[in-house]
Amino acid sequence: MSRDVLTRSAREPDRTMTFGPGQTQLYDVWLAPAASVTVVLVHGGFWRAEWDRTHLRPLATALADAGFAVALPEYRRTGMPGGTWPGPGQDLTAALAMVRADEGLPEPTLLVGHSAGGHLAVWLLHRPEAAGLLGAVSLAGCLDLRMVGRLGLDDGAADALMGGTDWQQQPFLGSDPIDLGPTPTPVALLHGRADQQVPLALSESWMATCGTPGRDVLTVLDDSDHFDLIDPESAAWPALLTEIIRLTGSGRTA
C-alpha cells in the first residue's frame, strides 16, 4: 500500500470560490477546454479535521486532463467547530448548490467521493439540491454508517462524526445512506479487495440493501487498496475513468 498520492504535488486550481465566511465554505476549480461535464470531488479522511481536500489534487488534475471540469469542495470535519453531523452535510449541500450555479462550470454534474467522501456523495444524491445530477461514483465509500460504527473504523470515526454512541440504536438515521434507500440517480461503486481501511463489506452492504438492479454497479478491483482508487498513477485509474465516462457520456481517455 502506497500513500504517496496523499502528498504528491499537483497543479494548483485555476480558481477558488467561496460561498460563505467560514474557512471550509469554499471549493477549488480545475478547468478543461470544451468540458461538457463538471465532476464534484468529495474528499475522505474519515470526516476528520486532519484530512483536507488538498490530497485529492492529483486526482482533480488528472480528471481535468481527461476533459472534465472539476470542483473540489471543503467541508467541516470532526475536531473543528461544527464538524459533527450535520455540519459536514450542510457544507457540502451548500457547496453543491453553489457549484451548480457557477456560470463558469458546465451544468451536467457528477459526484465522485472517496471513503468518507463516498458516504457524503451518496447521501447528497437524496438532497433536493442534487435533483437532476448524473449520479455518483463511490470509491471505497463508507456507505453503511452503522457498520463503520460497529467495526470501530479509524478508532471510532463514526462515533466522532455523530457526537457519541447512542446514534447506533436509533431506528432511522438521515445521515446513513443505508437508511435513505435507493438513490434517484445511478451509483457506481468501486472498491479494492485489498482495502485495509474501509472493508469491501461496506459497499456490498449498500449494494444489497439500496442498489437498483440493472442500474447501479459494484466493481471489485482485486489488487487495489484504499488509496489506489484516488491515484491516477495506479492500476485503478482506468476503472474509475471508465465509470465516469459511462455515467456522463463525455470526456476523453487521452
Task: Please name the residues in contact with 32: beta carbons below 8 A apart, sequence gap of 6 or more.
Answer: 64, 65, 66, 67, 68, 69, 70
* Residue 173, pLDDT score: 96
Phi-psi region of 72 (alpha: psi -120 to 50; beta: other; left: phi over 0): beta
Q: Record the cell numbers describing residue 201, joined without a space.
A: 463489506
* Residue 2, pLDDT score: 74
* Residue 253, pLDDT score: 47
Q: What would the pLDDT profile of 82-112 be if each residue is shown by its tens digit?
A: 999 999 999 999 999 999 999 999 999 999 9
Q: Record the cell numbers describing residue 67, joined without a space.
A: 476533459
User: Is pLDDT at 251 greater than 90 in this prediction?
Assistant: no
Q: Record the cell numbers describing residue 116, joined without a space.
A: 468518507
* Residue 142, pLDDT score: 98
- Using an 8 Å Cβ cutoff, are 44 and 51 in contact? yes
Rounded (10°) angle between helices 87-101 and 116-124: 60
Which among 211, 214, 200, 222 is positioned nearest to 142, based on CA atoms? 200
* Residue 1, pLDDT score: 54
Q: What would the pLDDT profile of 30-82 be if each residue is shown by its tens digit?
A: 999 999 999 999 999 999 999 999 999 999 999 999 999 999 999 999 999 99
Q: Record the cell numbers describing residue 164, joined without a space.
A: 457519541
- Using an 8 Å Cβ cutoff, are 81 and 88 in contact? no
* % of the chain beyond a pLDDT of 90: 95
Q: 208 pLDDT band (50/70/90 cuts)? A: very high
Mean pLDDT to the nearest integer, 169-187:
97
- Using an 8 Å Cβ cutoff, are 143 and 177 in contact? yes
C-alpha distances out from residue 62 to 56, 96, 167, Å: 10, 21, 38
